[in-house]
Amino acid sequence: MHTGNDLQQRHSHLIIILLSVIVGAVLTALVLSQTQKPPLLVEPAMAQRSGGAPQFEAVAEKVLPAVVYISSDIQQPEDPRQKEMRRQMEEFFRQLPPNFRPQFPDGGDEESAPRARPAAGSGWIYSPDGYIVTNAHVVRGATKVTVQLHDVEGDKKEYPAKIIGTDPRTELAVIKVDAGRQLPTLKLGDSDQAKIASWVMAVGSPFQLQQTVTVGVISARGRIISGESQYFRLGDLIQTDAPINPGNSGGPLVNTDGEVIGINVAIASPGATMIPVNIGIGFAIPSNAAKTIVPQLIEKGKVARGWLGVTIKDLNENLRTHFGVGEGEGGVLVTQVNDNAPASKVLQPNDVVLSVDGKPVRETWDLQSAIANTPPGTRVSMEILRAKQRMTLQVELGQMPAQYAGFEEEKPAAEETESNGLALTVKEITPELARETKLARDKGVVITAVGAELRDRLLEGDVIVRVNDKDVNTVAEYKAAIAAARQAKEKFVVLSIERLDEEGKKMTDVVDVPLE
C-alpha cells in the first residue's frame, strides 16, 4: 500500500526522468546539426554528387571528342626488355573476351636491327584546323604517324599526320592532320592555379584501349624527373594519382571545367616488372609550359632557347658557408665556364648565381629554366657572389646547341659515317668521341662496324692509319685513297691499323681488304 508521500515522490521521479529525456534529445539534435552540415564545395564551378565528388560525366562528355589515338612507326631497335614487355602485354590481353582485346601489330622478326616498329600514344586537338599536341617520345623518329579521331561517331578512318615539331626538353610535340572539317578543341587552363588535392581526369588510350578516362587528384607539384638526354631534366611536373599507363602519353590531364592543366608524360613503376603499371604516381607537363612551347612549334617547328654555357651545382651547407651565401638565400655554384660560351666574358668558376632578372635562384633547376625559357640574344641581369662580394652583371644569351636541346648534333659531312663499298664502316674521330671511347689515337678514322667476312681480322674501334701507302687522318682522305685504288683497278687495299689491347697497350696490324 502506497502513502500520499510515496505517490508524490514517484511523480517527482517521473518528471525528472522526462526532463532528462527531453534535454538529451535537444542536445543530440544540436550536436547532429553541427556534424551533419553539407560538405564544402571544393570545385564550385561543377555540380556535385551526393558523395562530394564532381560529376565527371559532364567533363568526359566535353573532353572525349577532342582526344585522339596516335599510332607511330618508329625507326629504332627493339631491345630484349621491350620485346619481353610486348609479349607479356599481348598474353595478358588474350585472356580477355575478344571484344575487349586491343589489336597488337605483328612484332616482326627477332633481330634487333633498327626498323620501323609500332608505337602508340594519345594526343588532344589544339586548334580546329587539325594541330594536335602530344609527347615528343610518341612521334620522335617516326617514319609514319596516323591519328584516329573521335569527334564523329563511327569514323574509323586513320588520318595520316605530319610531324610539325618536337621539343625534347619539355617532351612536347605538335602533329597535324587534315580531316576536311573543323575539329573540336580543348582549352589550355592555368596550371599555376591547380591546387594539391583538387580533382583531375586523365584521358587517353592506355594499352591501346581508346577513349579511356581515369580520375584522381593532384598529389604534388613541382616534381623533377630525369629526361632522355643526359643534359636535361623534365621539371615542374604535376604529380597525380589518376591512373596513367603506357599509351596515356600525350593525352590531357583536365580539371573539372574540362580545361587542360597538364599533358600526361610519365609514370613511376616498380622496376621488378617488365610491364610498367600504375602504382598511383603519374606525371604531367604543366599546361603553362605548353602555352609558350606549342605556338613556337607550330610557327617554326622547334624552340630556340637561351644558353649561358656553364656547368652548375647546388650548394650544401658547407659550400654556402664557404662562399658567403647569406642565411635564407638560395644560389647555385658555377663550377665551369665553357670556352667561347656567352658567359665566358662575364662569369667565372666559383661564382654563385643568386638571381636572374630579379627572380631568386634557389636551385639548379631555377637557373636552367630561367635561361632556357629566355630567347637567344636577350640581355639578362644576374646577381652573383664573387669572392663573397655581391655584384650585378649583364649577360647576352646565346642559342642553346642542338645536343643540349635534346637533338642529335649536326655534324659536318667529313665526320659522317661512310662504308665506301667495303665490308666495314668508318667514322672520323672527333675530340668528343676520343674522350668517350678508348681509341689508339685521338684523331683519324675509326672502324665502327665490320662485315662478317672481315671479323676475324678487324675489330670495331680499330683506327685506320694508312690505306695502301697513303696516310689518312680524315674520312675525306680515306675515301680518296679507296677511290684511287679502284681507279687503278686493284683487287684489294692494305689497311694499316692501330688498336689497344686489354691492358691498354697500343698494337699495330696490317690487313688486306677486298674491293667489292
**Cell numbers representing residue 203 in the block:** 584521358
Among 92, 6, 459, 67, which residue's Cα sits nearest to residue 252? Answer: 67
Q: Which residues fall within 8 angstroms of residue 436, CB to CB, at 6 or more apart?
A: none
Question: Which segments within 16-103 are labelled E, that is strand?
Answer: 67-76
**Cell numbers representing residue 408 in the block:** 642529335
The per-residue pLDDT for 75 is 62
Q: What amino acid occupies position 121?
A: G
Q: Model-level pTM?
A: 0.60
- Every domain of the chain with CATH number 2.40.10.10 lies at 61-177, 191-287
CA distance 325 to 310: 20
The per-residue pLDDT for 179 is 94
Cα–Cα distances (Å) from 303 to 189, 294, 478, in that order, read 21, 9, 38
Coil vs helix vs strand at 218? strand
- Every domain of the chain with CATH number 2.30.42.10 lies at 306-399, 413-514
Q: Where on the phi/psi map is residue 279: left (φ > 0), alpha (ψ -120 to 50), or beta? A: alpha
| Cβ atoms of 337 and 349 closer than 8 Å | yes
The per-residue pLDDT for 47 is 37
| Cβ atoms of 113 and 77 closer than 8 Å | yes
**Cell numbers representing residue 458 in the block:** 678487324
Among 56, 435, 367, 322, which residue's Cα sits nearest to residue 215? Answer: 56
Three-point CA angle 10, 15, 17, nearest 5°: 95
The per-residue pLDDT for 203 is 96
**Cell numbers representing residue 356 in the block:** 636572374
Instruction: Return the CATH number of the domain spanning residue range 306-399.
Output: 2.30.42.10
- Secondary structure of 319-338 in the HEC alphabet? HHHHHCCCCCCCCEEEEEEC
Is 515 exposed, middle or buried, given 0-12, 13-18 or 19+ CB atoms closer than 10 A? middle
Q: Does domain 61-177 have CATH number 2.40.10.10?
A: yes
Q: Does domain 413-514 have CATH number 2.30.42.10?
A: yes
**Cell numbers representing residue 305 in the block:** 632557347
Q: Which residues fall within 8 angstroms of residue 56, CB to CB, at 6 or more apart?
A: 199, 201, 213, 215, 256
Among 283, 277, 287, which residue's Cα sits nearest to residue 240? Answer: 283
Residue-level pLDDT, tens digit, the chain, 516 residues: 444 454 445 445 544 444 444 444 444 343 333 333 333 333 333 334 444 567 899 999 999 999 999 999 876 555 555 566 666 666 766 676 666 555 554 444 444 444 556 788 999 999 999 999 999 999 988 889 999 999 998 898 999 999 999 998 889 999 999 999 999 999 999 998 989 999 999 999 998 899 999 999 999 988 877 655 444 456 689 999 999 999 999 999 999 999 999 999 988 877 545 566 778 899 999 999 899 899 999 998 988 889 999 989 999 999 989 999 988 888 999 999 988 889 888 999 999 999 999 999 988 888 988 898 888 899 999 999 999 999 999 999 998 887 676 665 444 433 444 445 567 888 888 877 776 677 878 778 888 888 777 877 888 888 898 998 888 888 888 888 888 888 888 888 888 888 887 777 888 888 888 886
Name the CATH topology of 191-287.
Answer: Thrombin, subunit H (2.40.10)
